[in-house]
Structure 1
Amino acid sequence: MKRIIFGPGRWILAAATAALLVLSLATGAHAQKRSLIRDAEIEATIRDLATPLFQAAGVNPEAVSIYLINDDQLNAFVAGGQNLFLNTGLIMAMRSPLELIGVVAHETGHIAGGHLARTSDAIASASNAALLSAIVGIATAVATGRGDAGAAIAIGGQSAAVGSFLQYSRAQESAADQAALSYLDATQQSARGLARFFEELAAQELLSASRQSPYMSTHPFTRDRLNTVEAHVATSEYSDQEASPDQVARFNRVVAKLHGFIRSPSQTFRKYPETDTSLPAKLARAIAYREVPDYPKAIALTREMIAEDPNDPYLHELEGQLLFESGQIDAAVAPMEKAQRLAPEAGLIEVSLAQVLLARNDPASDQKAMDHLQTAKRTEGDWPFLWRQLATAQGRLGDIGQAALSLAEEAVRQSRWENAETQSKRAQSMLKAGTPAMLRALDIEELAKRERAAQRKK
């Protein structure tokens, strides 16, 4: 399901989500809105492609955070240690999962090599949400929710604002290339995808600096790098290894979803016409119908896909989102619950299910929602919207102290330090002394005071 973390636009599908706040921080009349796109299926696919590479590099996969930036330009980078950022434009321009695997292998080389591990004191001490804002050079945004099918965080600003702290040296680039080739061999995967991506960069060398991909400015490119990868392709025993059918199918769904979420419906219908009866094409059109909006058509097409594959959690999630957004709240519960049962580890789906349950506004559903949100904290604890939803459930169930603490947690993840201090003090007035909740409230108050003092000094 799609959700929007710091605010979506018309182009983002957000499953099981109530109100969406669009926070446009792009500069200039024609500046592109940049958002962090979140979608359970897209994230799971990229994670599954990346995990073998992380393991080959000796990097704990669970320690790496992967973020998708809604930006048409070709770019990918690592920042703040183990945070990998991929532009949607990069993924949508790729022709096969091998290219994405190759780029992720290269960026994994930067992670394993500790390149740019310490970008600034502010980033080093920030939460993930604050890190995102710092990287794009904007102030803290306001969190909102959209279901798991595609949350987005509005983080406007220009790609150039990433600035000097994303600059890799030529030596680091060469080291990351060599590391990527070793990871690909270790996982018995072809480096042809990386070679094709470098061919694209080589073609961009002929363009003026203003027209080149940001990747060129943050990752110094030389023909020697392309020659190195091509030489490896010529000798590696895995060069002819194709992507698996499952990798291809999942990659095609990712690209189709991104087109549906980001492009206008007319663009999506042109790329995926009615004559294309493949599942990715149907998926893209269903999302586009939601954007029209034409919910009856979107729901009918989604149910047609479910009939073809009844055990696909992401299709049930999409159905639940569409029903929810079209005002059919009670009808949305069953498909969302089925999606959660089929993908119990997907925290985004769990949050979306909780949002649907809270919309029913009855005590039994509120309790179920709180249980799901407590479980989702393991993977979604950095998402401010989770804490807002949790505060709603706790407040309705009469636990006002815990609700205040959850609002303080939300404020911390938005770097709204005055509000964090206020809510933590409010929580302390109602929580029992010596409990973990009270200790956390005290910690938040102290953190908020330090951050506010630091801001005053600036």
Structure 2
Amino acid sequence: MIRRRLRSSSSFLAAFLAAVLCFAAPAQAISLIRDAEIEHTIRMYSEPIFRAAGLNPEAIQLHLVNDNSMNAFVAGGQRMFINTGMIRRTETPNMLIGVIAHETGHIAGGHLVTRRAAMEGNSAAAVLSFLLGIGAVAAGAGDVGTAIMAGGSSIAQRNLLQYTRAQEASADQAAMTYLNQVGWSGEGLVETFSMFRGYEVMSDRQQDPYLRSHPLNTDRMNALEERVENSPYKDKKDPPEWQFEHDMIRAKLSGFLDRPAVTMRRYPESDTSAPARYARSVAYHKSSRLDKAMEELEPLIAEYPDNPFLWELKGQILFESGKAAEAIEPYKKSVDLLSDSPLLQVGLAQAMLATERPELTQPAVDHLEKSLRYDRENSFAFHQLAIGYSRLGDRGMAELSTAERYYIAGNLPQAKQHAYRAQEYLSSGSPNWLRAQDIMNSKG
């Protein structure tokens, strides 16, 4: 996973994000990741719940926060943020699904509306800048990026997303309604919340952020447990394939986010399960042991040849080991298996461009354009697109792609500068010329 930093000049932005995550002062670093497999899995869990809540699944953006604490929240309208710690510490899909259903209850219940006044003016622009800037850390399929923002503690202490107990109880009941509608158990939500009960007596600094922003009490838990007990789906279990996928993404997170020694202790050689081999493959890759990484990964691919993310990992390992040309075929296989994944498209295009072979430039551009039809917030894709168009001699589109890249990252002066240059080469009045004009007219 490639780490990339996105810095913002807005001190308010940093402070707001610290407040959103309910960190105690001083504000701490915030790390955001993009991963095709994890996003695909969480989207699979989420979309039926969104529909049950009367929400358009395509309108809701899911984002992953690289933080080991158990936390999840909604912000910036219909955007849901889930900590990697929440994923790693939920042992079953149903536990994570319960949290997603609860957060969906906050969105559908309009619980953020009452706090909208606190985000007006400069804060609204800052929130938008940050949320759009998430795409700037995307570095292709499976790659991880980092957005580090540190800021003042005064706004961080406001805890803008501190829900009331009434809103929490309402979100619980809404979550159970959604789960009953789709025929899933609410037992996982009770299990997840039960993990927090032991933290209630701890200080704010020791508690997980989720507990501070989502206060628990006995009455609330009793009401939730009663609703679950009366559900006809109380004892329904997750499908085996869901459990497998959940175990795989947890192993993947361990491999990429923990030190290799930690991963190897958690998944020792004696563990021959697919998740363990997956995690060890990543750990060996991080240790620059290509042979051992492939020794773990190749049998997995043979066992699960239709898993696009195993092929993606092979492509990534080869690419990051300096073997861009060899990475193309496994990346192609991943795209063939899951063609609507924008991050897989970007991974393939990046490998193609890295070979600097002229005959691969246009195919790379085509893959990038397709990825951006699904995900317009990926500034790394625009960065690669600018490289591709530059090699094709299309100066107008190269400049426009660069303008889009800076626009997403929140660097409006640079975005306008490149949009102005783009208009010099684009046909006046064309859709791309008008897009450049929109960027130039943007007020941030």
TM norm. shorter chain > 0.5: yes
User: Would the aligned equivalents of 2:92 and 2:246 in 1 still touch at CA under 8 Å?
Assistant: yes
Deviations 1:90-129 (A, max 9, x none): 1111121111011001001011112215462356456866
Equivalence for 1:147: 140
Paired residue for 1:241, among 236, 256, 273? 236
Matched, 1:320 2:315: yes
Q: Could you tell me whether the CA contact under 8 Å between 1:329 and 1:359 is conserved in 2? A: yes
What residue is the counterpart of 1:15 in the other structure?
A: none
Partner of 2:250: 255
> Hey, what does 1:62 align to over in structure 2?
58
Instruction: Output aligned runs, 1:331-370, within 5 Å.
Output: 331-370=326-365
Counterpart residue number, 1:96: 92
What is the RMSD computed on CA atoms of the aligned residues? 2.5
SS, match of residue 111 in structure 2: coil
Deviation at 1:6, TM superposition (A): 3.9
Match of 1:114 among 80, 105, 110: 110
- Quick one: percent identity of the two aligned structures? 43
* Equivalent-residue separation in structure 2 for 1:147 and 1:431 (angstroms): 28
Q: TM-score, normalised by structure 1?
A: 0.87
Q: 1:85 aligns with which of 81, 88, 91?
A: 81
SS of residue in 1 equivalent to 2:146: strand
State the distance in 1 between where 2:167 and 2:414 align.
41
**Structure 1 counterpart of 2:325, one-letter code:** D
Counterpart amino acid of residue 76 in structure 1: A
Contact residue 4 and residue 38 of structure 1 kept, 8 A: no
TM-superposed deviation, 1:167: 1.7
Matched pairs, number: 423
Is the Cα contact below 8 Å between 2:68 and 2:83 reproduced in 1? Answer: yes
Closer/same/farther in 2, CA of residues 298 and 316 from structure 1, 3 Å limit: same
Other structure's SS at 2:318 match: helix
CA contact (8 A) 2:140 2:380 kept: no
- Structure 1: distance between partners of 2:352 and 2:181: 45
* Residues 1:377 and 2:372 aligned together: yes
Q: Contact between 2:76 and 2:128, CA under 8 Å: does it hold in 1? A: no
Q: For 2:205, what is the secondary structure of its paired residue?
A: helix
Amino acid at match of 1:248: Q
Distance 2:180 2:157 in 1: 32
Q: How does 1:291-306 map to 2 (within 5 A)?
A: 291-306=286-301
Report the alpha carbon displacement of residue 143 of structure 1 after superposing the two structures with TM. 3.7
Say if 1:6 and 1:144, in contact at 8 Å, map to a contact too. yes
Quote the residue 1:287 is aligned against.
282
Provide the C-alpha distance between the structure 1 equivalents of 2:190 and 2:437, rounded to a whole number of angstroms: 53
Q: Conserved in 2, the CA contact under 8 Å of 1:128 and 1:382? A: no
Whether the 8 Å CA contact 1:265–1:292 is kept in 2: the answer is yes
TM-score scaled by length of structure 2? 0.90
User: Using the alignment, how far apart are the partners of 2:407 and 2:344 within structure 1?
Assistant: 23
SS in 2 for 1:164: coil
SS of 2:145's equivalent in the other structure is: strand
Question: Which of the numbers 199, 206, 229 marks the counterpart of 2:194?
Answer: 199
Q: CA deviation at 1:300?
A: 2.5
Q: Deviations over 1:177-236 (max 9, x none)?
A: 110010111111111111111212221112122211111221122111111111122221
2:42 paired with 1:46: yes
Amino acid of the residue matched to residue 433 of structure 1?
S
Correspondence for 2:172 = 177
Q: Structure 2 counterpart of 1:151, which letter?
A: V
Rounded to whole Å, the distance in 1 between the matches of 2:350 and 2:299 is 25
